[in-house]
Structure 1
Amino acid sequence: MSMNTVPERLAALRAAMKANGVDVYLIPVGDPHSSEYLPDHYTSLTYFSGFHGENSNFVVTPTESAVWADGRYFVQAEKEIAGTEIQLMRMGEPGVPTVEEYCGKVLPENGVLGLCGLTASCGLVRGVQKELDAKKGTIKTLNLEDELWTEGRPARPATPAWILPKEYAGFSPAEKLERLRGKLKELGCTAQLVGKLDNLAWLLNLRAMDIQCTPYAMSYCYVTPERAVLFINTARLGEEAAAELKANGVEIQEYDDVLKFLAAETEPQTVLADPASVNFAVYETLQNNAALTVKDEADPLLPMKGVKNEVELAHDREAHLRDAVAMVRFQKELEERLAAGEELTELTVDEILHKYRSAQDKFIVESFGTIAAYGGNAAMMHYHATEEDHAKLERKGFLLVDSGATYLDGTTDITRTYPLGELTEDEKLFYTWTLQCHIDIAKAVWLNYCDGHMLDTIAREPLWQHLINYRCGTGHSVSFVGNVHEGPHALNGRNTTVFQPGMIITDEPGVYEAGQVGIRIENELECYHKADNQYGTFLAFRPLTFVPIATSPVVPGVLTRDELDWLNAYHREVFEKLAPRLNEEERDWLAKKCAAIGA
């Protein structure tokens, strides 16, 4: 039977469901490690439904099927499932059931819901089971995706794995394992199954290129007081990396043996498993082993890696300066080519950036796909220019560029909004208010009990004065030689993590007026200890990013004296730090960009 179209694939899936005694089948967007970005091997939802969105689920019954999409993907989802039987569930819209509610509704009495335990998170499965209880329904783990999707399926990634040297990481794997064991003891646990790739990368200083733009290796690690067992495709681990891991007390086993190993473990342990990130197959295996007691706790590695050590911070500062040199060269070339009347597009931006970043010492990869958005395109927060669909740059309005890179010694994320020519009064005002927001959080000082959602309001206040808001967070944490979206801290309306010295955060307020304009100004900041006095401990931010911020769009008289002082001092520092790394022509250019305003 041919399996080239969505209806054919659905028919094959239904036949397999029937053969396995399954009434409803659930396919989430996910891989075995709850990754934000998926390796192509794990895009089963797209294979069976045709929909390419993130944060989605697909449910199939013998007679109907439905896919869930969030607001970013409504239009795209409609296009992609057009002409099929699949129903679109617009998440968060009135009257639309959650995927859990829908599963409960369509399952027959005493029915069986099937799913692949490796790609479903424990949290999702629990939510579904709660809804199935009313029908006395059960969940059966089986992998119909692997059974049916065999032709043309991308292989599981197996890029060469290597160890980030201690001179960059600050601590060896052995030292980090000891710290984790101490933390587990405090939490009343003896062991942990680490499944999240970013936490595992930090714990063992392990890196690879398994996920686009993210230097991680598909693997698990089981840590007990005596042992640390890494499950990884051993063929990709060079002799040097394997020897170094062994020297740090890490045993190495095959990636596919993890479930077998956990099922056979006879050493009694209280195992910490974070239901938010451990997949259901692993969790179920731990739970079914009588020697193990499973304890649900948030992964302690996230807060450990969220606070950077002194070595990481020193390297990160240096990586940001090399990145800034690339950004300066990019902007200078862009302006010169536009002035010469050359025809440039959003795609050209990506090419110029890559040229200058990849020429920098210790460059590994872009830290995410560059967002270059001209004019109204910038109002779409997750806009990406493609060969088929991109804008030409004109000598008016704004160009928003959000980009970054990962180097051997740090990860960067920066946004600048460049005026390309004539601006409207509205564009100038929106830009100036966004800059006010950016500066207000950058120069904030607070007592050390403040958390992410308290600080977030400081950033929004200048826009709130004009009854404007942005529908995303003000900032996120960034990894060290890793993913751009980390945790546990963030600047948004929900984050309750208390800020500590050594935390890195982005400062990226914006204005997004649909179809008109999008403006964002983003630096990375590091939190530091400012002072102790009779009132307590005061903390503040200092910039990690040193790249000029356009001053020509600033409306005179809007920024306060304090805000102007901050901006001029920032630009003095940008010039001092970058000038020694540039040639004379570049220095002259930079001096103009860093000139003081509002004196």
Structure 2
Amino acid sequence: MFQTFETATRPENGPPRLAALRAKMAKHALDGYLVPRSDVHQGEYVAPADECLAWLTGFTGSAGFCAVLNDVAGVFVDGRYRVQVHAQIDPTAFTPVNWPEVTLAAWLRTNMPNGGTFGFDSLLHTKKEIDELEKRLAGSGIGLKPMNGSLVHAIWDNRPPPPSKPISAHSEGLAGESSTSKRTRLGAVLKEAGQDAVVLTLPDSICWLLNIRGSDVAHNPVMQCFAILQADGSIIVYDANPARYSDVASHIGTGFQVQPVNEFHAALRAFSGTMRVDAASAPLAISQQLAEGSANTAYGEDPCILPKACKNAAEIAGSAEAHLRDGAAMVEFLTWLDATAPNSRLTEIDVVTELEVCRRATNALREISFETIAGSGPNGAIVHYRVTKDTNREVKNGELLLIDSGGQYVDGTTDITRTVAVGDIGQDEKECFTRVLQGMIAISRVRWPKGLAGRDLDALARYPLWLAGQDYDHGTGHGVGAFLSVHEGPQRISKVSDVPLQTGMILSNEPGYYREGAFGIRIENLIVVEDAPALPGADARTMLSFRTLTFVPIDRRLILTENLTNDERAWVDAYHAQVFEKIAPRVTSTARIWLEGATAPL
């Protein structure tokens, strides 16, 4: 229900572990060593066996890394985690670094002025990442040394075993296309590019391609494996436990084989022909092993990424149904919260527990889609806050409660944030909430010419906050999978995203505002890209728009109606009317009464 890794990642564990790592560095003649958050599959969410960054430093965020030198250890975190990192690390051992404002190369140039050897595990970093770092370090005298194996693994006593859990078939009805068809289609792409095969390293790509799902990583229905897809559509999967595929082999179809994972690297060295490798996601070690043999390496994007992102009609229909089911669970939860919070001594753990109970009551939940964020008062200002027994806080009257959560259902993945009032809330908080709402409405309503990317829309969500001299330090939206990863690329609504938005892409719409030590606000719906309806007098050019998938009330008590435009008020009222129409038939009579009030016109 709530974070259980805290015992192994307490700040006081950091200094002795750091000392042990430095001793291991000395044995390898290293002046520095890079400890990433990612695993060999470059996943945002990793199995317990791969929690190297958290185990070493105590920092449990989903992004970041640690650069360990002989006299300083920098923990690099982005804007989502700058409050959290200070609470989780020992400041006598580790130094937080604001990233990406400060790059690793710039930091190394400052902290290794006399040069030296900086080591890294070639299985835990991509070719693109290392090439860029090497380029930025040119002329510094700092040399990069690839290592075969993790130095953190070497000092980690009682490290959990790698996962190998059962896998299951994902029906063709929900997938909208057979695995054989997908593999034939992508094989033709390889053939047209003059490539004989592609190596696949991303678990969600392999799951999507084979129409199967796993449970090797918490909250993500994927299994950890590698694969080589041939231009003829045949595929070999390399897995630590080949036997677990016996029940899904016929579902996957012809041209499927599975081999032990310890044969994967030998297969790379033995490969002859042209192999596509995604330099942005595949470990550097794969390129090194191909180079040891006779293969010709062609760098290009994982061919599954874009087709996976552009959901077909069956996937979109499934996601829409999952959101209605999840919306009903959220309404049952909010009904309970409104009745309970003002008069009881609820804690954040109570909130997290009850919300999961409501989702499990659907009898359709496979897993929550990430650890629920329930931040009351100042904890809401920690963007990716995760409650633990140590941080658990009472939900107090007069404070905001930020709840970010989601569910994994066989027909879709959900992700929703609502910020709610507990008791009477101050004017300042309501003004900030209304600005965040205006940004969310702007994204919901926007139409744009086909070809624009997320970076072209991101400012729309920030504009109301910018007018007040405010902003937030995270993207406005991320891609979401179809019963796959809750964070899925390549699409994003972000200042840095240049990927054109295409029909079928599902994204989050989640502007926010955070005041350290006081409160946090975020409002999030999931949206899907569609062709925009034609308008009288419009140009002939193709326009795109978003359709909202999430239907849960937005807390009317926090909205300053007088600060909204007429169009914004109309959007809220129309949205709430849809919420009532779609969700009321799915909830209990008590929740229906609550819902009627929560969706009343402004």
Structure 1 and Structure 2 fold alike (TM over 0.5):
yes
* Post-superposition CA distance 1:462-493 (Å, at most 9, x none): 22232322222211111111111112111121
1:263 is matched with 269
- Following superposition, the deviation at residue 234 of structure 1 comes to 2.6
Alignment of 1:267-306 (within 5 A): 268=273, 270-290=274-294, 292-306=295-309
* Structure 1 Cα separation of the partners of residues 358 and 13 of structure 2: 42
- Following superposition, the deviation at residue 507 of structure 1 comes to 1.2
2:196 to 190, 193, 202: 190
What amino acid sits opposite 2:431 in the alignment? L
* Post-superposition CA distance 1:213-238 (Å, at most 9, x none): 11111111111123311111235615
1:499 is matched with 501
- Following superposition, the deviation at residue 579 of structure 1 comes to 2.0
Describe the SS at the equivalent of 2:556. coil
* Post-superposition CA distance 1:5-64 (Å, at most 9, x none): 766656665665565565654433321111112212123344455555554444556x54
* Structure 2 Cα separation of the partners of residues 588 and 6 of structure 1: 51
2:186 is matched with 180
What amino acid sits opposite 2:207 in the alignment? A
What amino acid sits opposite 2:339 in the alignment? E
1:67 is matched with 74
* Post-superposition CA distance 1:308-335 (Å, at most 9, x none): 1000001111110110110010011111
What amino acid sits opposite 2:466 in the alignment? W
- Following superposition, the deviation at residue 258 of structure 1 comes to 1.0
Describe the SS at the equivalent of 1:427. helix
Which region of structure 1 is more displaced relative to structure 2, 467-476 or 410-419? 467-476
Cα RMSD of the aligned pairs, angstroms, is 2.8
With over 3 angstroms needed to count, the CA separation of the structure-2 counterparts of 1:87 and 1:570, relative to structure 1, is closer
- Following superposition, the deviation at residue 402 of structure 1 comes to 0.8
- Following superposition, the deviation at residue 192 of structure 1 comes to 0.8
Describe the SS at the equivalent of 1:377. helix
What amino acid sits opposite 1:592 in the alignment? G
* Structure 2 Cα separation of the partners of residues 326 and 584 of structure 1: 13
- Following superposition, the deviation at residue 413 of structure 1 comes to 0.5
Indicate conservation of the 8 Å contact 2:311/2:504, yes or no.
yes
* Structure 2 Cα separation of the partners of residues 168 and 431 of structure 1: 37
Residue 336, structure 1, aligned to residue 339, structure 2: yes
2:85 to 76, 86, 91: 76
Alignment of 1:512-527 (within 5 A): 512-527=514-529
* Post-superposition CA distance 1:117-160 (Å, at most 9, x none): 21222233323444377649463432253772363011011111
Describe the SS at the equivalent of 1:326. helix
1:164 is matched with 170
What amino acid sits opposite 1:233 in the alignment? A
Indicate conservation of the 8 Å contact 2:310/2:503, yes or no.
yes
2:558 is matched with 553
Indicate conservation of the 8 Å contact 2:85/2:96, yes or no.
no
Indicate conservation of the 8 Å contact 1:531/1:537, yes or no.
no
| TM-score for both structures, normalised by structure 1 | 0.90
Which region of structure 1 is more displaced relative to structure 2, 438-447 or 177-186? 177-186
Indicate conservation of the 8 Å contact 1:184/1:190, yes or no.
yes
With over 3 angstroms needed to count, the CA separation of the structure-2 counterparts of 1:230 and 1:568, relative to structure 1, is same
Describe the SS at the equivalent of 1:221. strand
* Structure 2 Cα separation of the partners of residues 95 and 490 of structure 1: 22
With over 3 angstroms needed to count, the CA separation of the structure-2 counterparts of 1:372 and 1:295, relative to structure 1, is same
* Post-superposition CA distance 1:519-544 (Å, at most 9, x none): 11111111111235643122221210
Indicate conservation of the 8 Å contact 2:455/2:494, yes or no.
yes
- Following superposition, the deviation at residue 105 of structure 1 comes to 4.7
> Greater Rg, structure 1 or structure 2?
1
1:592 is matched with 597
- Following superposition, the deviation at residue 588 of structure 1 comes to 2.2
Residue 544, structure 1, aligned to residue 549, structure 2: yes
Q: Which has the higher contact order (CA 8 A, sep 6+)?
A: 2
1:319 is matched with 322
* Post-superposition CA distance 1:56-78 (Å, at most 9, x none): 444556x5452332252477368
Alignment of 1:450-461 (within 5 A): 450-461=452-463
With over 3 angstroms needed to count, the CA separation of the structure-2 counterparts of 1:127 and 1:401, relative to structure 1, is same
Describe the SS at the equivalent of 2:575. helix
Describe the SS at the equivalent of 1:519. strand
* Structure 1 Cα separation of the partners of residues 102 and 26 of structure 2: 33
How many residue pairs were aligned? 584
Residue 426, structure 1, aligned to residue 423, structure 2: no
2:249 to 226, 242, 245: 242
1:123 to 124, 128, 152: 128
Indicate conservation of the 8 Å contact 1:129/1:139, yes or no.
no
Note the residue ranges of structure 1 that are not aligned, 5 or more in a row.
none
- Following superposition, the deviation at residue 377 of structure 1 comes to 2.1
| TM-score for both structures, normalised by structure 2 | 0.89
With over 3 angstroms needed to count, the CA separation of the structure-2 counterparts of 1:485 and 1:53, relative to structure 1, is closer
What amino acid sits opposite 1:115 in the alignment? F
